[in-house]
Structure 1
Amino acid sequence: MNLISLLAEQGHIWTHRNRSKTVVQGLNTGYAELNNELPGQGWPVSAVTEVLYPKQGMGELRLLLPALAQLSHADTRWQLWLNAPYLPCGPALQHWQLNTQRLLLANASRAADLCHCVEKSLQSGGCQAAVVWVEKLDKALMRRIQLAAEQSATPVFLLRPEKCLSQPSVAALRIKLNSASSIDIVKRRAGWPLANLAINLPLHLGVH
């Protein structure tokens, strides 16, 4: 097998004819319409996912909560939430069935410190997922986070303002939130971009 064929089989590059053969481990997003469009039928497990939003609070966290809640009951590891813009509301998270005892909140003011925190958390073996709110993050630091995600087989979610869309990204998946009922898949492995995917991000669990 030549190098191009090997990379395509592993999901690092793709052609249309290789799409059905691409193997990517996915974490159920909790949204069937989104699962159907993602390789692995969910969030990439060993990779960085970027979620870009036009305004904070438009549903970026609600998009992730079903998967994060599922993970929080999967084992005894903890989730790193780094630089959350507001103090998370415990009862609200519990309503979404997230085990808050698995939640570790931290802050890092410098991009280099943020990267170091994510790397060490993933390398520790005790972290089941990382959710990071970040605006300025250069390509080299993002590569380090992506490599740590791959090596630890841990999903990393970067929540970023929409203006970061113009910046280069090594993320395996980039999602842009248009509203609580529409998203764009800007970048995905083994697939073309997709605009205006209809999705319902409810304010409360079980409400569609």
Structure 2
Amino acid sequence: MGYPAQVEALLQKGWVWQGQNAPLNKAENQFISTGWHDLDQRLGGGWLQGSVNELQVQQPFIGELAVLLPLLAQPETTALWVNPPAQPYAPGLHYQQVILNQQVIVNESNNKLALWAAEQALQSRSISVVLIWSNTLSAIQVRRLQQVAEAERKLAFVITPQQREEEARAYVTRLQLQRTDNLYISVLKRRFGWPLPAFPCAVDKHLPRRRRAL
């Protein structure tokens, strides 16, 4: 049964959460494994191809990049990094088997131009993943990114500070990352199912031994 026109309009804007179950045939939705078994299980299979996903971080450099390393290290992945908080450390990425000449970095202080660069990358055949660091994206801008990502069957990730208040955004997945003794991930929003409480993610195994949590 279809939705009334008013509800359908809200669904298209990403303002209504749909508590539906994960489909039995995951292949039809083209999930891409996150590289983390527990996270895959909670997201119904992994990152949904053609989606914009939010990673809210307690503070920068707590392991948000490590969560994405299995995806970035795939040989077919070419990524655009938009406004990373620090210059990516090439030897560290090489240690993680990330192909350096497949990483493109854009630093742009003008938020509109930064968003334009992200949209252009999502439409480019040369880029498969877009990473955006921003705390200023509006609901309209997120919806635009999601429309482009879905049309082009691309993955985008927005890394942003934790939100004090929940605001409607068209993100397919919203994760919140916190660190105590380990990195913990809370699933605030997912395509199929309810939000889920925090669980540990063993990202430290990707770090050199000297940098692992004691």
Within the candidate set 193, 196, 199, 2:198 is matched to 196
Number of the residue aligned with 1:31: 36
How far 1:133 sits from its partner (Å)?
0.5
Aligned partner letter, 1:32: H
Q: Percent identity?
A: 28
1:55 is aligned to 2:59: yes
Q: CA deviation at 1:203?
A: 5.6
Displacement of 1:26 in angstroms is: 1.6
| Aligned match of 2:170 | 170
Aligned ranges for residues 115-130 of structure 1 at < 5 Å?
Answer: 115-130=115-130
Q: Which secondary structure does the structure 2 equivalent of 1:3 belong to?
A: coil
Write the mapping of 1:58-137 to structure 2, written as runs, cut at 5 A.
Answer: 58-70=62-74, 73-74=75-76, 78-137=78-137
- 1:33 and 1:103 map into 2 onto residues whose CA distance is 27
1:19 aligned residue: 22
Contact preservation (8 Å) 2:81, 2:131: yes
1:149/1:156 contact within 8 Å kept? yes
Q: Give the superposition deviation at 1:106.
A: 0.3
SS of equivalent to 2:105: strand
Normalised TM-score (structure 1)? 0.85
Cross-structure match for 2:185: 183
Q: Which residue of 1 aligns with 2:12?
A: none
Unaligned runs of 5+ in 2: 9-15
Q: Spell out, residue by residue over 1:112-153, the C-alpha distance to the aligned partner (whole angstroms, 9 max, x if none).
A: 212211111111221110011011111111111111100111
Q: How large is the RMSD of aligned CA atoms in angstroms?
A: 2.5
Residues 1:44 and 2:53 aligned together:
no
Unaligned runs of 5+ in 1: none
Q: TM-score, normalised by structure 2?
A: 0.82
For 1:86 and 1:160, the matched residues in 2 are separated by 14
